[in-house]
Amino acid sequence: MAILTIHSLNLQIENKILCRDLSVQIGENQRWGLLGKNGAGKTTLLHALIGQRRASQGSIRLDGKSIYDLKQRELASKVGILFQQGIEALPATVFETVMLGRHPHTQSLLWDDQKDIEIAESALDAFNLDQLKERDVGTLSGGELQRLALAMLLAQTPQLFLLDEPSNHLDVAFQIKLLSVLTNKVAETSASLIMATHDINLAFRFCENIILLLADGESLVGRSVDVLTEENLSQAYGCPIKSVSSGDHRLFYPA
């Protein structure tokens, strides 16, 4: 059963067409990579999926219902997004911040539910932030802030994770850690994930499906092994890209 169905979607910013006639079905426990060069429309597409940019044509359905018919809160309880800019370092503790992720689920007006606290704490644990619980967000490093934003997303417990450049500010070890945490979460909760990234190798490694945005709103949709070829990538990025394969691994580099 598909969680998200994008049908014949057109997206444009002023006169620039970013997406033309895009159709994708995203099922449970699927991980999708969203690739394309700067300005190709990756972020715009992700924002469209949370209803923040109206499509000029086509439909976006979540569990069969158009996202425009869902209440904001209902949508937020099912779709969570990590923004490219991460989170602002406003004065607040790490724990107060991660608790915000529970906002769409919170029932009580005033008091924090024990269940919400436990979910938030385990989200901090998942990204090794449990020691920083009482720290002020303003004192965190760039990488710690990014992990906090990810923990907040995890605490939101969405069915569909949208990630805009999740590996920003993260060292190699945390990039791998973050993706394995998310992969496990997706599998555990029968969720799915769309990740916009510039890192072709990371996308190939973690996503079995790819949406590759080309120039002029065209796009390629399919399995990573089929879409991520030297020819397609060279066309998408407008620069020659080569690859080397070793067993199941494939490594891409600009020629």
Partner 1 sequence: MIAQKQILLLIALTAFCVASMVFSLLSGSVDITVAQLIQSIVSSESSLNSQVLQEIRVPRTLAAFVTGGLLGLSGAIMQVLLRNPLADPYILGISGGAAVGALSAILVGATGFWLSNAAFAGALFSIFLVFGIANKFGNWSVTRLLLTGVVVSAGWGAVINILLTTSSTNNVQSMLFWLMGDLSQSSVNSAHYLLLLVGLVGGIAVSRSLNVLIRGELLAVSLGVNITSLRLLLFFSASIFTATAVTIAGSVGFVGLIIPHMLRLVGARDHRILIPSCVLLGGSFLVLADSLARTLIAPQQLPVGVVTAVIGVPAFIMILRSTIRK
Task: Locate 165 and state its tokens.
Answer: 């450049």
Torsion angles phi and psi, residue 182, rounded to 5: -70, -40
Distance of alpha carbon 168 from its chain centroid, rounded? 12
Minimum separation from the CB atom of position 61 to partner 1 (A): 19
133 burial type by CB count under 10 A (0-12 exposed, 13-18 middle, 19+ buried):
middle
Taking CB under 8 A as the criterion, the residue among 21, 63, 69, 112 binding partner 1 is 112
Q: Binding segment for partner 1 among 107-115, 177-185, 220-228, 242-250 (CB under 8 A)?
A: 107-115
Residue 118: CA count within 13 A, CB half-sphere: 3
Q: Binding segment for partner 1 among 22-30, 102-110, 169-177, 185-193 (CB under 8 A)?
A: 102-110
Rank residues 33 and 104 by Cβ distance to partner 1 and give the closer one. Answer: 104
1-30 binders of partner 1 (CB under 8 A): none
Residue 236 near residue 254 (C-beta atoms within 8 A): no
Taking CB under 8 A as the criterion, the residue among 96, 130, 199, 230 binding partner 1 is 96
Residue 117 binds to partner 1 (criterion: CB under 8 A): yes
Residue 23 near residue 1 (C-beta atoms within 8 A): no
Q: Binding segment for partner 1 among 111-119, 138-146, 187-195, 227-235 (CB under 8 A)?
A: 111-119
Q: With b meaning 16 or more CB within 10 Å and e meaning fewer, what string describes 227-241? A: bbbeebbebbbeeeb
Taking CB under 8 A as the criterion, the residue among 21, 63, 69, 88 binding partner 1 is 88
Residue 140 binds to partner 1 (criterion: CB under 8 A): no
**Which one-letter amino acid corresponds to residue 123?**
A
Residue 221 binds to partner 1 (criterion: CB under 8 A): no
**Which one-letter amino acid corresponds to residue 17?**
I
Residue 156 binds to partner 1 (criterion: CB under 8 A): yes
Rank residues 110 and 172 by Cβ distance to partner 1 and give the closer one. Answer: 110
Rank residues 7 and 47 by Cβ distance to partner 1 and give the closer one. Answer: 47
Q: Binding segment for partner 1 among 110-118, 167-175, 189-197, 240-248 (CB under 8 A)?
A: 110-118
Which residue in 170, 169, 239, 241 sits closest to 204, CA to CA?
A: 241
Residue 99 binds to partner 1 (criterion: CB under 8 A): yes
Torsion angles phi and psi, residue 32, rounded to 5: -115, 135
Residues that bind partner 1 (CB under 8 A): 50-52, 71-77, 80-81, 83, 87-88, 90-92, 95-97, 99-101, 103-104, 106, 109-112, 117, 156
